[in-house]
Structure 1
Amino acid sequence: MHWILQENLFKENEWASLTGTLERFGIPFSVHKVVPFVGELVPPAEPKHDKVVCFGSYSMRHTARAQAWTPGVYDLFDKDFKVQLSHWGERMLNFDSRILPFKDVPSLTEPTFLRPVDDSKYFAGKVFMPGDFNDWKHKVVDLGQDHGTSLSGETLVQLCNPKTIYGEYRFWIVNGEIATRSMYKRGDKVMYASDVDERFDRFVHECVQAWQPHRAFVIDVCDTPHGMKIVEINTINAAGFYAGNVQSLVLSLEDLEGAG
């Protein structure tokens, strides 16, 4: 495939691993600036292969769709939390979430986890403190200040009580198999490590056998007092690499698209 890469998005070591792999295997790629939110490429891409894949900000999906690139972006926008819940049920960490429009979220009185129900990137899911959230909601709903994210009072969000998490792990799934994996958090501390306990592999395999949202995607899982749970899924094209094996991921995607 021809790989379209966004400049200055990945960490230095991730960039070196990605471009080094593409160069080593003679895989064509080009580097572009990406206009925020609309995903326009600067300069425009001139693919050297009939298959094109984009890696960078989520907005690149707009250009990929407009250009009818295959695979372009393995977009998960229509596989929102409600869809995930219908397939994975109590395997989901926040299966007990309430889902409602942002404007209808009541004023918080205690720390509460919120995130959009879809992979929209309107805002990052996290535990919000009451004062911070209530001020933010006033700005978005009453004053119309979305700060360029397209977040509105009608945006569907999920909210629930915070959960105790011992560790968080990212798995890159390609064609139903684990291409690579990485720890990215231990407790509240960011920690990248490629050595991941095999029991997480088994859990992820079970989840993937039950349902897959796309041919290639990222699934984040965690360890809790109630066992292993799914945190969320992400579009593989816009997910950080952490301590994952970038070469393994690249070659898995090339194999998936019949170019390996």
Structure 2
Amino acid sequence: MNSTNEIHWVVQRNLLPAPTLAAFRQALQQQGISHEEVVSVPFSRELPELQKPWATCVFYGSTTLLLNAYRDGRYAAGVFYDPAAFTMANYLAHWPTQLLNHDAQVQTLASFTAQPHPLDSQWFVRPNDDTKTFAGQVLRVAQLRAWQQQLAQLAAGEAELTPDSLLVFSSPKVIEKEWRHFIVGGQVVSSVRYQWRGELRVSAQDVPTDLLAFVQACCTAYQPHAVFVLDTALADGQYWLVECNCFNGTGFYEPAAIADVVAAVTQWLRSQPVPV
């Protein structure tokens, strides 16, 4: 592990949306924060060579980059990730009444499809973990059983998703709006609405104060990490938690928010004791 409080950002140059990369460059340069840009090869298990491996390196980029940094072991201070914490099962345990899919069942596909559900019944299904193996979707039980048969025929190691993978099954919900919040040290640093009635509609103004109060209360009750991203929704006239995401690999719907988040993360890290 590093032994210095020098903060050094490592931003992936390839694959990031151009507005996001430009906003990171501007924020880091204007704030005088040490940084570099790296290229991360998709699905590679090698971390790019860094300019300041002794510093507290904060990574931002693809899932490949953050997982390689996490596995490396030297950069724990700037990789805000814990595979056990960033799971729907963990959110259900800590936010049982605040979670949108509070009625969820966490189990394997084989276990779920073995239950006597009507073949035409519909279920929202998504991965339990934060690796985004597949996008959440609504499927009928007949489709889920066909999927289970396909997975059972795959040889070990052929696919990231296996018959033993934990999935989350819940009733479909009608969502009116969705927001993304960046949390640093227990405080909401940035919030933006990104969905309205099923369409991508970004607004940094449509962030009600009672929504922020709800988010803050949830963060007071529990946080999966010191820095993380929280998605919320408005459904059936009330606010809900949708999911959490690891900051190091979560996208910004509003690049203008990047400067505030960079400043908050850097300041929070500088306030932490230097590891020895």
**When the two structures are superposed, what TM-score results if normalisation uses the length of structure 1?**
0.90
Following TM superposition, the consecutive aligned residue runs of length 4 or more in structure 1 with deviations greater than 6 angstroms are none
Structure 2 CA distance for partners of 1:193 and 1:8, relative to 1, 3 Å:
farther
Structure 2 CA distance for partners of 1:136 and 1:29, relative to 1, 3 Å:
farther
Post-superposition offset of 1:130 = 5.7
Aligned residues of 1:3 and 1:29 also touching (Cα < 8 A): yes
- Indicate which of 9, 23, 27 corresponds to 1:21: 27
Residue equivalent to 2:98: 91
State the distance in 1 between where 2:46 and 2:152 align. 29
1:59-78 per-position Cα deviation (integer Å, ceiling 9, x unaligned): 32333441511423100311
Counterpart residue identity of residue 183, structure 1: R
Residue equivalent to 2:235: 224
Residue equivalent to 1:46: 51
State the distance in 1 between where 2:141 and 2:37 align. 42
- Indicate which of 151, 156, 162 corresponds to 2:161: 151
Residue equivalent to 2:177: 167
1:5-55 per-position Cα deviation (integer Å, ceiling 9, x unaligned): 12233222111111111111221222222233344234x222276110111
SS in 1 for 2:92: helix
Q: Percent identity?
A: 27
Aligned residues of 1:53 and 1:70 also touching (Cα < 8 A): no
SS in 2 for 1:207: helix
SS in 2 for 1:158: strand
State the distance in 1 between where 2:54 and 2:265 align. 15
State the distance in 2 between where 1:156 and 1:48 align. 35
State the distance in 2 between where 1:89 and 1:111 align. 22
- Indicate which of 79, 84, 101 corresponds to 1:78: 84
State the distance in 2 between where 1:136 and 1:118 align. 19
Equivalent runs, 1:175-186 vs 2, <5 Å: 175-186=185-196
State the distance in 1 between where 2:137 and 2:21 align. 27
State the distance in 1 between where 2:41 and 2:110 align. 29
Residue equivalent to 1:189: 199
1:111-155 per-position Cα deviation (integer Å, ceiling 9, x unaligned): 32111112122222232356765554333232349875x111101
**When the two structures are superposed, what TM-score results if normalisation uses the length of structure 2?**
0.85
Residue equivalent to 1:56: 61
State the distance in 2 between where 1:106 and 1:255 align. 48
Post-superposition offset of 1:248 = 0.4
Residue equivalent to 1:3: 9
Aligned residues of 2:70 and 2:81 also touching (Cα < 8 A): no
Structure 2 CA distance for partners of 1:133 and 1:19, relative to 1, 3 Å:
farther
Let me know the Cα RMSD of the aligned residues: 2.3
Unaligned residue ranges in structure 1 (runs of 5+): none
State the distance in 2 between where 1:144 and 1:167 align. 41
Between the two structures, name the one with larger relative contact order (CA 8 Å, sep ≥ 6).
2
Task: Determine whether 1:257 maps to 2:257.
Answer: no
State the distance in 2 between where 1:259 and 1:40 align. 30
State the distance in 2 between where 1:102 and 1:73 align. 31
- Bigger Rg, which one: 2
State the distance in 2 between where 1:222 and 1:154 align. 30
1:76-119 per-position Cα deviation (integer Å, ceiling 9, x unaligned): 31112222112111100001111111333318534321111121
SS in 2 for 1:91: coil
